[in-house]
Structure 1
């Protein structure tokens, strides 16, 4: 590991217990610090979204008024996600109602990008909506460095991520794409980012001034791209990570993880091309993935288009600039 990464790990790594909500609220009040928005991107998460929203509202809005705004962005759920989230106390916005002149693209990154138009916080905290046994530490922990140190611009959560299949639990088995795809790529091409324990984790908090300057891959490449682009824009020392314990959530099957890996590869290649480190292929990438399933007749091929699109930095979107002008 690079010496500067070792120094960064000592300087910019902490644990959630270092950032109790009461301490952060007192610091925020004393300094008249930034407004905080929490965003949950959600798709068919009625089983978990209510408990997450309820915990944040009770502990971080009512008991300790640390969070100013709690928004669930529904990306087309067919279950009761929106109803459950609203009843628990979140403001629910449908993805397709945000910036309607641009037809929505599939993917988590698309929802995160659009959420900037319907939130007002100077700090935006993203939390996945499928977490089980959710703790408010996931929010207060990653807000801690941002609310107490103006030189920090992005904070990622780190945690143990068990793989749970029925009654079987593999304590550290839940980060398959991280270990097989994202971590090798970051170590090889951006070794400064090798100290991030969970580079693909969905829990992180970022200053709006940085978020609005970032391009957003629409799919699963968004977290990898955000780390790489933030490194270019603000540098490693402006980034931090906080240990929040254990993260339990639903897991995709191997085929789904393969498609996720394809999107991450595309985000990485786009940045390697941008930096002139890898030439673009004249014919472009083949983004139709062949995957196989066995049925009673043998193996059957299924093809999936995993073409990854990117949205430009939000700062350049006219509706966003108009919104800022009206707010000013």
Structure 2
């Protein structure tokens, strides 16, 4: 019995909660008015004809004409101030008396207001697409916006500088948001609401309601409005730390950029010029000192602003995006100057970061730096193999040791057995193309090449610099068996044919082994190789037929 009653209670609560969620939100329209007897009734009627509006309130701010009577006759709830207290105070009074969860403020002097204009500003808030909606519209005048508001907003509040008409008096927002903002007593109220909403993290949207017609304001009144708008923006800039973000943080960022740039210049000078080391170090120390001091100042200023619970990341990025990007680029360049820092017991070594860009017929790519490690086997990544002109399963012969080349999992990895590395003077860390080639120069390379009818054992010597290659092409009975590049540097190439003997290869040689014809050609190519033909009498290639020979004849 108790369980059944508890279940019924829970279901009833859920039903009431869902019913509350489905209940339409009430919308109030507040119209602040001062001496607007000619237009206020038209604005009230347009608001009442809007299907989304539940309540229309006119706040008569001490008018000296029939504003209150006209508004009441049009069907509005009228609340009157005994004296003129300013637009902001009238809006605050209207919010206090409004009963809607959503409140829209509409100016009382619009001559051509229509219900659909009011609906456009209400609907995004009603449907949860925005927390606050600001209107934009076509009109002839906008001097205060263009001459005062826009420049100051771009400087202190760049995240709302995209608003075309930030001073528009048509605003719609959720009541909970409006109760958290400060209402300026005068014409600074509209921009003040926007800037407070930005600081609170509200979603702000600007909607176009078409063309509206206002009475042209006299120059004296515009002057007073401009002063009030400027005062409000500067007040909010100080309140939300935008002065600090713009000036103090901006100066720290610029100085840090200067320091990092000097450090980058010093590093580039150190590695790529022959200027006196003392001068280069002095420049680097100066740059590093400026950068570290500016970083400390930057952190201090940011913490000073953040400590007051202000949202600073977005405005910080908006204000200083170009400087931050420039600083990031320079910082990356500084970081890229170092391939590795190796610390020994008696010294520290720093190497410039080696990278190269390869522009081929089919692709453009960056390669390097190459990572050198000690290991048990000799392993080379794809890019290292390409640098040394080697292939997996090649055998390197150095002094009395032989080392088979294996593929490494990383393209830029060179893993060298410890003993071989010490003999070659290779140290762990990063290396350039030239460093790798110099380390492996004069090492003998043994390679096996297999054709359909022949086995070929190649012996070559690694060079430190690539040379134009010639191609040893092997034909058996007219069929091409193998194509092997070799650099001669003007010397001779010797080939040993099993069953015949050693041949000093000319442009073309034909050998008969048994009843098989072997044609050897040495042809020019347009490629380069590190594989040098060994000195006489070591043959570059040893060719064996897969069928045993019976007799040999040479032409």
The 3 A distance-change label for structure 1 pair 80 and 270 is same
Give how far 1:30 is off. 9.7
Give how far 1:271 is off. 1.4
Is residue 2:86 matched to residue 1:107? yes
Give how far 1:145 is off. 0.5
What are the Cα deviations for residues 265-285 of structure 1, in whole angstroms up to 9, with x where unaligned? 111121122134448xxxxxx
3-state SS of paired residue (1:117): helix
What is the distance in 2 between the residues matched to 1:38 and 1:231?
A: 22
Unaligned 5+ runs, structure 1:
1-28, 97-103, 163-173, 280-328
Contact 2:62 2:84 in 1 (8 A): no
Is residue 2:114 matched to residue 1:135? yes
Give how far 1:209 is off. 0.3
Hey, what does 1:154 align to over in structure 2? 132
Hey, what does 1:25 align to over in structure 2? none
Give how far 1:56 is off. 2.2
Contact 2:156 2:243 in 1 (8 A): no
What is the distance in 1 between the residues matched to 2:117 and 2:88?
A: 20
What is the distance in 2 between the residues matched to 1:143 and 1:114?
A: 20
Of 143, 149, 159 in structure 2, the residue corresponding to residue 192 of structure 1 is: 159
Structure showing greater relative contact order (alpha-carbon pairs closer than 8 Å, 6 or more residues apart): 1
Unaligned 5+ runs, structure 2:
1-19, 245-555
Q: How many residues end up aligned between the 2 structures?
A: 225
Contact 1:33 1:147 in 2 (8 A): no
Hey, what does 2:206 align to over in structure 1? 241
Alignment of 1:240-259 (within 5 A): 240-259=205-224
3-state SS of paired residue (2:234): helix
Contact 2:169 2:190 in 1 (8 A): yes
Contact 1:37 1:68 in 2 (8 A): yes
Structure with the higher fraction of residues in strand conformation: 2
What are the Cα deviations for residues 146-200 of structure 1, in whole angstroms up to 9, with x where unaligned? 1112x521001111012xxxxxxxxxxx100000001111111111101211100
Of 85, 108, 130 in structure 1, the residue corresponding to residue 71 of structure 2 is: 85
3-state SS of paired residue (1:217): coil
What is the distance in 1 between the residues matched to 2:148 and 2:181?
A: 22
CA RMSD of aligned residues (A): 1.8
Of 222, 225, 246 in structure 1, the residue corresponding to residue 192 of structure 2 is: 225
TM-score calculated relative to the size of structure 1: 0.65
Hey, what does 1:34 align to over in structure 2? 25
Is residue 2:231 matched to residue 1:266? yes
TM-score calculated relative to the size of structure 2: 0.39
Computing the radius of gyration from Cα coordinates, the structure with the larger value is: 2
Contact 1:95 1:114 in 2 (8 A): no
The 3 A distance-change label for structure 1 pair 86 and 157 is same
3-state SS of paired residue (1:255): helix
Moved over 6 A (4+): none
Hey, what does 1:181 align to over in structure 2? 148
Is residue 2:97 matched to residue 1:118? yes
What is the distance in 1 between the residues matched to 2:159 and 2:242?
A: 16
Hey, what does 2:11 align to over in structure 1? none
What is the distance in 2 between the residues matched to 1:68 and 1:277?
A: 39
Hey, what does 2:80 align to over in structure 1? 94
Give how far 1:231 is off. 0.4
Hey, what does 2:277 align to over in structure 1? none
